[in-house]
Structure 1
Amino acid sequence: MNLGIIPARGGSKRIPRKNIKSFAGRPMIAWSIVAAIESGCFDRLIVSTDDEEIAEISQRWGAEVPFFRPTELADDYATTADVVRHAINWSAQEDRIPERVCCIYATAPFVRSNDVTLGLHMLETRQADFAFSATSYAFPVQRAITVTPEGRVNMLMPQYLNSRSQDLEEVYHDAGQFYWGRSEAWVLGKALFSSSATAVILPRYRVQDIDTPDDWLRAELMFKALHDLDAALSKA
């Protein structure tokens, strides 16, 4: 059994009601739900929430909301892994123990169904504990600097002071879209970022954190540009 879990608590602070705020014509969470359904990967797709409005919108777009998340998993300190484990344990009590579980963030409108499918394929073919979305840094992190309270600058890795950018190893970061994992890996709390995980590499133009109003505007502009490009290519 493959279980999809979309965490969506109601208490977003920096962008109030972010999970269901309209993004490019749909509630934000709807983009994640639709991508999950269109991937065809899941026997069951659950939204884990503590909020009745989020639950109603999620069900309208095709997800299940078979329980409300307990209070202790709905504050600022609950982790994604805690929420996933809670959903796995709930499913097990329903006599449906999942083998593979994918967490898809509710605030990931750039997530695509084929990437989710590829993640499942990589989890299986590479015999990994986890498979998650990642993308490359736009600038070599080896040449990062720090700034002191007095405004002075230091290199974070001074050994690379004279290295050419093209000679430095490319480095990646979590893209914040989806995380496939074997059920036992989630339950045991295995490390996500480790040699037992594999990464689905996404182009940088399809990755955008949305934590501030400025992020939101940038994301919508990027989304519209991508939508227009896809529409043009489909007609070509």
Structure 2
Amino acid sequence: MADRAGTVLALIPARGGSKGVPGKNIKEVAGKPLIAWTIEAARQARCIDRVVVSSEDAAILQVARAWGAETPYERPAELARDETPSIDVVLHALQQLPGVAWMVLLQPTSPLRAAEDIDAAFALCQAKGAPACVSVTEAGTLPWWMFHLSADARLRAFLPQQDRPQRRQDAPPLYALNGAVYIARADWLRRTRSFLTDETLAYVMPPERSVDIDTPLDLAVAACLLRERLPRGGA
């Protein structure tokens, strides 16, 4: 069993700037601000002790508090740029919040992840004695059938022809990060500065819970799927 001495912290990073979908973190989706879906999942997860939102944006922090998250500090503006690595935001949170044993990073752009996914990924770390686990989903498009385009619009295979399976049925399954759940032991994370090493476990999620919102189309798809979860007559 992995050591759980100390706090299991759910960190929800939500900066104010967004080019693909402006204001997306507090944009209403299926009757709630987008970030609220992640706050609720984190609060419902049995393994989580604290739910903290990291943001430089006053409106986001206000919405986060309204939906039950803690906002014990304001993220510095230099950690809220387009090019800011997520790990810098995570390590900043660990500096601000002593006593954290496990970090659970939950991006608000994955609103379909459930509390059960968080608990199952954490339980996998515990059962395997692993320092980290991230969520993945089976890749829908495989690299054997991907192509570059030449300057004159001709197809150029991404991978060598000889490596390509003859039939799709013969291709081995591949998995992609879905952005929903990242878990790591805090001391290990400080040392590695990454959730992804050869020690990291994978928690597989179905595609219908793996929508990662980056475009207006992603937002529309997520809204449709979230509305299906609502009780009849809900928002």
Q: For residues 193 and 186 of structure 1, what CA distance do their matches in structure 2 show?
A: 10
Q: 1:7 aligns with which of 1, 13, 24?
A: 13
SS where residue 195 of structure 1 aligns?
coil
Q: CA deviation at 1:119?
A: 0.9
Hey, what does 2:105 align to over in structure 1? 103
CA distance in 2, matches of 1:18, 1:139: 26
Q: Distance in 1 between matches of 2:162 and 2:130?
A: 33
Counterpart selection for 2:155 from 137, 153, 175: 153
Q: CA separation in 2, counterparts of 1:33 and 1:102?
A: 12
Residue ranges of structure 1 left out of the alignment (5+ in a row): none
Residue 122 of structure 2: which of 120, 141, 144 is its match?
120
Deviations 1:171-211 (A, max 9, x none): 00001111011101221234433320111101112211211
> Is 2:174 the counterpart of 1:201?
no
The equivalences for 1:42-191 within 5 A come to 42-92=48-98, 97-157=99-159, 158-161=161-164, 163-191=166-194
Structure 2 residue aligned with 1:29: 35
Select 1:16's aligned residue among 8, 22, 44: 22
TM normalised by structure 2 equals: 0.90
TM-score, length-scaled by structure 1: 0.90
Identity over aligned pairs, percent: 32
Going by fraction, where is helix more abundant, 1 or 2? 1
Please say if residues 87 and 193 of structure 2, whose CA atoms lie closer than 8 Å, have aligned partners that are also in contact.
Answer: no
Deviation at 1:46, TM superposition (A): 0.7
Aligned to 1:41: 47
Assess if the C-alpha contact under 8 Å between 2:9 and 2:50 holds in 1.
yes
Q: Could you tell me whether the CA contact under 8 Å between 1:132 and 1:174 is conserved in 2?
A: yes
- Please say if residues 47 and 119 of structure 2, whose CA atoms lie closer than 8 Å, have aligned partners that are also in contact: yes
Consecutive aligned runs of 4 or more in structure 1 exceeding 6 Å deviation? none
- Displacement after TM superposition at 1:150 (Å): 1.5
CA distance in 2, matches of 1:191, 1:59: 28
SS of 2:203's equivalent? strand
Task: Give distance in 1, aligned partners of 2:92 and 2:193.
Answer: 15
CA contact (8 A) 1:23 1:220 kept: yes
| Corresponding letter in the other structure for 2:220 | L
Contact 2:53 2:69 in 1 (8 A): yes
On the 8 A contact 1:81/1:189 being kept in 2, the answer is: no
Question: Deviations for 1:66-108, whole angstroms, at most 9, x for unmatched residues?
Answer: 000011101112111111111111112xxxx211110000121
C-alpha deviation, 1:149, in angstroms: 2.6
Computed over aligned residues only, the root mean square deviation of the Cα atoms, in angstroms, reads: 1.6
Unaligned runs of 5+ in 2: 1-6
* Deviation, structure 1 residue 167: 1.5
Which whole-Å CA distance do the structure 1 matches of 2:208 and 2:176 have between them?
14
CA distance in 1, matches of 2:164, 2:172: 14
Residues 30-57 of structure 1: CA distance to partner in whole angstroms, max 9, x if unpaired? Answer: 0000000001222211100101111111
